[in-house]
Amino acid sequence: MNILVTGGAGFIGSHTVVALHEAGFNPVIIDDFSNSNPMVLERLEKITGKRITCYDQNCCDTTALQAIFDTEKIDGVIHFAAFKAVGESMAYPLKYYRNNLDSILALLETMIPAGVQHLIFSSSCTVYGNPDQLPVTEDTPIKPAMSVYGNTKRIGEEIFRDLVSTGNPLKVIALRYFNPIGAHPTGLIGELPTGTPNNLVPFVTQTAAGIRPELTVYGNDYDTPDGSCIRDYIHVMDLAEAHVAAIKRLFDLPLPTHFDEINVGTGQGNSVLEIIKAFEKVTGKPLPYTIGKRRMGDIPSIYADVTKSTQKLDWKAKRTLEESLADAWRWQQGL
């Protein structure tokens, strides 16, 4: 089956392309490389042994999407393409609303007339805001988003839910993921931020490599055991394999329409200071860091209840935090 992977040259997208190939699917990429690098395509060829078809196009372009659907006979879609920096979304909200929501609408306006029913949506645990109870389940109340980025994910889910509830022939699973880290074990693909990293682990690896002078821990006065923020860190290949399990589930569903949301995490939280200590232990590299002020939009703690992903997808995260950090460091060393 031909699976269109929007944003397929990005961090999570590229690893999902590998997982799809390994599962017997034929991934087709659309990516405008606004937040990714074309060299990823060569790396994917080395890993998979085949040249992955890629269209250098923007997902908001319905004409381009129509041509891809006509040419490639698409059977399903995994939609990653979106701007994703929380801080930037607060500085440029219209940019984020335009790109992240227009791409969803353009996809749906192309998919539905083409008779393509199956879609996995890249959602986020940011839809829970600052939760009252942990771990968060899929029934945890959705709170006002802490960022424009998070709000685009919440609105995206609502668009899919509304379309399904009004009888459109769509089967959609929104995967709400937590904090993807790590890299492919070959070290050929990984997280490649442009400019200053927005995520913790690339900042950790760049500091260890001497690219950054030191790491800033944003706040050590949160209501957590060591005062630093707690997150659910999942290896990117585990996350990629969850997408494969989800698309398989959609193809197996006999229902004419379907919408569901599923958490994808490890079910365990680790603090920022624990990540630093674990990285130092795995690599033997000391990490210089300072304690800074709290960062706007950060919540103290969040981690997943993974009961639903285990039951519905027959999937569990299997790679350890130490494996994730070792793979991230291998990737950084190869850059």
Report, as residue numbers or ranges, the catalytic residues: 149
The values of phi and psi at residue 161, to 5°, are -65, -40
DSSP for 289-317 reads: EEEEPPPTT--SB--B--HHHHHHH----
Tell me if residue 49 falls in helix, strand or coil: coil
Please give the Cα distance from 325 to 323 (Å, whole number). 6
- DSSP letter assigned to residue 183: B
CB 129 within 8 A of CB 145: yes
CA distances from 183 to 10, 197, 279 (A): 12, 15, 14
What size, in residues, is the chain? 335
The values of phi and psi at residue 78, to 5°, are -115, 115
Helices and strands, counts by H and E, the chain: 11, 13
Quick one: which of 312, 281, 289, 139 has its CA closest to 206?
289
Cβ count within 10 A of residue 100:
23
Please give the Cα distance from 48 to 27 (Å, whole number). 11
- DSSP letter assigned to residue 190: B
Please give the Cα distance from 180 to 239 (Å, whole number). 7
Please give the Cα distance from 120 to 143 (Å, whole number). 22
Cβ count within 10 A of residue 330:
19
Q: Is 245 exposed, middle or buried (0-12, 13-18, 19+ CB in 10 A)?
A: buried
